[in-house]
Amino acid sequence: MFCEVFNRLSEFGRVDSYRYIGFGSIFFSDFSLFHRSLNITNNVSIERQYVDRERFELNRPYNCIDLIFGESNEILPILDWNVKTIIWLDYDSPLSDSILADIIFVCTYLQPGSLLIVTVDAEPDDIGHRVRLLRERVDDSKIPVRLIEESLVGWNTAKTSRRIITNEIASTINARNGGRQEGEKLSYKQLFNFHYADGRKMLTVGGLLHDESQSDLVAKCGFKDFDFIKDGEEAYEIDVPNLTLREIHYLNKQLPSQDISSIEAFKIPLEDIIKYAKIYRYFPLFVVAEIG
């Protein structure tokens, strides 16, 4: 899904001229995908695990990925921000003041035509402690007023996190716009608001920073062509079906289809067919190989 959107950034310039910043970990899945699909060769992976330096070097899939070791709030200020950038702040922890500080910094320096994506853990804390723990992680002035325990039930933790992140992006951009002339002021267009669960509930939110004068370029990007683009509070839920590789190949032969009920299912549950038909073009395929 990200690749589909990144390709549309060509209205702002060649996509392979963008820099990609992420947290590769030892798998570098995002870096591999974006390099192969988009030919992005200017890549920076921020890694906090100094002790695993040799392991990261071993697993780095391409020479065009620069590994920089340290905390994100240490590394982001030393990078050059004079290039259009796609940055994915992919945290595996709940929203915190430290994460918001990274978002503020990035939004302060991103060039127009750049993309910011943020992922945080959105699993609700134990009942009775949710509001207190959120206030321990995030400054109280940034938390919605009259927040109660029930306000953080289920996906409401993700919704509250998105609201806080979006407010922080907006206030940072407003501060940047203080010294800009009309037509040069920055705008933020949300593109992503994903809810998904991989053991824990997760939120991914983000969008495009652009000058007001570039509104025509934004329109030409055609982001609305994709049904997973969400520019408000409504989230796009990624619900992964439980299918075998053989079942996936069988369903692929019948997709796309305007009538899901016409698909021959055999014993595949209809619920999984519906889920898969919604995201089949983006569904990753993994092959397990046994080497004797």
Query: Cα-flanking dihedrals φ and ψ of residue 27, to 5°?
Result: -100, -30
Query: Do 179 and 201 belong together in one domain?
Result: yes
Residue 26 lies in a domain: yes
Query: Do 58 and 185 belong together in one domain?
Result: yes
Residue 209 lies in a domain: yes
Packing angle of the helix pair 156-177, 97-109 (nearest 10 deg): 40
pLDDT tens digits, 8-20? 999 999 999 999 9
Whole-structure pTM value: 0.93
Residue 292 lies in a domain: no
pLDDT tens digits, 190-232? 999 999 997 899 999 999 999 999 999 999 999 999 999 999 9
Domain count, the chain: 2
Decide: 220 and 10 in contact? Cβ < 8 Å: no
Query: Do 20 and 128 belong together in one domain?
Result: yes
Domain CATH code at residue 46: 3.40.50.150
Query: Do 15 and 137 belong together in one domain?
Result: yes
Packing angle of the helix pair 245-252, 270-279 (nearest 10 deg): 70
Residue 291 lies in a domain: no
Tell me which residue of 170, 173, 172, 146 sits closest to 160, measured CA to CA: 146
Express as a percent the part of the chain with pLDDT over 70: 97
Domain encompassing residue 132: 2-238
Query: Do 186 and 274 belong together in one domain?
Result: no
pLDDT tens digits, 253-287? 999 999 998 999 888 999 999 999 999 999 876 55
Decide: 273 and 265 in contact? Cβ < 8 Å: yes
Query: Do 108 and 78 belong together in one domain?
Result: yes
* Residue 108: CA count within 13 A, CB half-sphere: 10
pLDDT band, very low/low/confident/very high, at 124 (cuts 50, 70, 90): very high
The CA-atom distances, in angstroms, between 103 and each of 183, 192, 229 are: 24, 15, 21
Q: Which pair of structure tokens corresponds to residue 238?
A: 């990624």
SS3 91: strand
Tell me, what's the pLDDT at 286? 57
Tell me, what's the pLDDT at 285? 66
More confident residue, 245 or 101: 101
Residue 226 lies in a domain: yes
Tell me which residue of 246, 267, 264, 245 sits closest to 254, measured CA to CA: 264
Residue 211 lies in a domain: yes
